[in-house]
Chains A and B, each alone.
Chain A
């Protein structure tokens, strides 16, 4: 583990967590979680696509083997640190668990569906934006 990379992940993780907390203080908890999760997925999509285009001149072809287990991305600080800490699976799971515990299955399903759709859209669209912007370059 490089100390510099670890420091970047830790510092960016603090920034991500502070932003998530700040958004939660301004907006209703459920919406705040959706906003930060979508933001994080969009940034990760942008970062990974940009990394693939600039470093590999094409999609990264990782296999499922011992040499490709690390998270692909231009910067672990940005992807694992900032985006990882900005988004939160535990908060989403707790949100869903509370609805299910109260018997509000439809509400839980709606939040899960909305989160999954919005996060997937953010990830895919930011990747597409990078692909298109690089495709237009000579």
Chain B
């Protein structure tokens, strides 16, 4: 794959990833971001053994932009106003769920 094609693919994948996450969080709220983070971690686990343009485009750009750490903070801050336990559960579920999903993805390939 040429550098130009990789760059275009990188941009398209990053844009699609960011849009999907934004759409999920605006329609489903914190649950949408949670699902996206877990699904993205699983997919990156599956891709972990790949390299080259595919890893850069799908892994770094697409799945990197699809999942987020910064988005967790405003959402958990909002949940904390309702219940600190809910916010703690949300953050814990995100980290453990994403790590478990990445582990499953790693072991499947």
Interface residues of A (CB under 8 A from B): 1, 6, 9-14, 16-18, 20-21, 24, 37, 40-41, 43-45, 48, 61-64, 68-73, 76, 79-81, 83-94, 96-98, 100-101, 112, 115-116, 119-120, 123
Contacts and interface: CB of A to CB of B under 8 A. Distances in A.
Interface residues of B, number: 56
DSSP majority for the A interface? helix
Interface of B: 10-11, 13-19, 21-23, 25-29, 37, 40-41, 43-45, 48, 56, 60-61, 63-75, 77-79, 81-82, 86, 94-95, 98-99, 101-103, 105-107
B54 to A, nearest CB: 14
A69 B73 CA distance: 14
Contact of A93 (B10, B18, B44, B65): B44
Interface centre among B17, B56, B94, B105 (most CB of A within 10 A): B17
Contacts of B13: 17
DSSP majority for the B interface? helix
A72 B29 CA distance: 11
A18 B14 contact: yes
A100 B86 CA distance: 27
Given A10-B15, A97-B102, A84 B29 contact: no
